[in-house]
Structure 1
Amino acid sequence: MSEALLVIDYTNDFVASDGRLTCGEPGQNIEGRLASILQGFHQNEKEIFFPVDVHEENDPYHPETELFPPHNIRGTKGREQYGQVQTFLDDLGEEWPQHIHWMDKTRYSAFAGTPLELKLRERGITHLHLVGVCTDICILHTAVDAYNRGFQLTVHEDAVQSFNADGHAWALGHFQDCLGANVVSG
């Protein structure tokens, strides 16, 4: 079984206290655990993907324009990774190792409109580990798409979070009960 880590939307706009659509403290509280998982995958040279939400300023055609305030605008600090995760990327320098990949996404699922599935299949990846935000939005939609494409899933419950505590708890149950995901902590 070949594994990959998906670090989904752990950006300043979604996590920092001054983020434009932040889950705030709950998202900040997972920083250490998320960074630890990231380091473990990196040290073992396992594939790591950063599917990151991107929007254009004042885009009248994007469906989220009606649902949420502007966030993760291309070229802004809000779109950078939060805290230790951005430090990890900065420490890599300009030339990243071949097992680390950045991927722009414009929908909740990391699979929608991206080459993610192709990249995973090329590398023989069969098992995905999911971390990031928001549990009940982008993590959930990515997990459902992964399940429908036949990937095995592990969701690190201590490295995912949301601005909706009820939605977070519901999604964790859904991952396990409906998608057969291994929901782990620590």
Structure 2
Amino acid sequence: MSETALLVIDMFNTYTHPDAEQLADNVVEVVDPIAELVARAAERDDVDLVYVNDNYGDFTATHSDVVRAALEGARPELVRPLVPASGSRFLTKVRHSAFYATPLDYLLSRLGVRRIVLTGQVTEQCILYTALDGYVRHYDVVVPPDAVAHIDSQLGEAALEMMRRNMKAELSKSTECLP
């Protein structure tokens, strides 16, 4: 059992949506820090790794389908470094929060998790709403700003400040956020 979980949120994206280019430009900066966090978590027994990704409205999609679609999308180089190892925990979601209509809270409680480290995209959307849902469920929330990608830089900064101030989130570098 671990008290910390690393959540990788929505990194399997086809980058074919209207704001994809702007988002992808920012994802370029966070792929390596997230990949390094994933590698560190995979080496440790005291950190649980959980991928949570949008199913993009396809309720027949398995996690393999979601990853494959992203690898066949417009920016596979942003996806390849984060492809989950076989047997990884992978949940699909349908809305912004990784908690909404998913078994994430149940999984985390079964694992004994009290602290969640949020990485991925989009800072001002899915990361923000997941942080809020984690906070109201009494998890300690950690967000490494160098491991989350925004679409709009001002909204991304505002979201980080909201998480820090309103949700008591710890904002720390990706190299410092795993105990």
TM-score of the alignment, normalized to the shorter chain, above 0.5: yes
Query: Which residue in the other structure is 1:153 paired with?
Result: 141
Choose the corresponding residue for 1:112, options 75, 88, 100: 100
Is the partner of 2:114 in helix, strand or coil? strand
Partner Cα distance (1:172, 1:118) in 2: 26
- Structure 1 segment 76-95 matched on structure 2, within 5 A: 77-78=69-70, 82-86=79-83, 89=84, 92-93=85-86
Could you tell me whether the CA contact under 8 Å between 2:12 and 2:66 is conserved in 1?
Answer: no
What is the RMSD computed on CA atoms of the aligned residues?
2.2
Query: Which residue in the other structure is 1:30 paired with?
Result: 30
Partner Cα distance (1:75, 1:181) in 2: 29
Could you tell me whether the CA contact under 8 Å between 1:53 and 1:104 is conserved in 2?
Answer: yes
- Structure 1 segment 6-21 matched on structure 2, within 5 A: 6-14=7-15, 19-20=16-17, 21=19
Structure 1: which 5+ runs fail to align?
60-72
Using the size of structure 1 for normalisation, the TM-score is 0.78
Q: Using a 3 Å threshold, how does the CA distance of structure 1 residues 117 and 166 change in structure 2: closer, same or farther?
A: same
Q: Using a 3 Å threshold, how does the CA distance of structure 1 residues 79 and 52 change in structure 2: closer, same or farther?
A: farther
- Structure 1 segment 41-56 matched on structure 2, within 5 A: 41-45=41-45, 46-56=47-57
Aligned residues: 159
Could you tell me whether the CA contact under 8 Å between 1:54 and 1:79 is conserved in 2?
Answer: no
Q: Does 1:165 align with 2:157?
A: no
Q: Does 32-41 or 19-28 show the bigger shift?
A: 19-28
Choose the corresponding residue for 2:131, options 140, 143, 156: 143
Partner Cα distance (1:75, 1:169) in 2: 28
Could you tell me whether the CA contact under 8 Å between 2:71 and 2:80 is conserved in 1?
Answer: no
Q: Does 1:103 align with 2:100?
A: no
Residue 75 of structure 1, CA deviation: 7.9
Using the size of structure 2 for normalisation, the TM-score is 0.81
Is the partner of 1:5 in helix, strand or coil? strand
Could you tell me whether the CA contact under 8 Å between 1:51 and 1:103 is conserved in 2?
Answer: yes
Letter in 2 for 1:37: L
Is the partner of 1:24 in helix, strand or coil? helix
Partner Cα distance (2:111, 2:30) in 1: 28
Partner Cα distance (1:107, 1:43) in 2: 31
Overall identity of the aligned pairs, in %: 24
1:114-142 Cα shifts (integer Å, max 9, x gaps): 11000101111000000000001000000
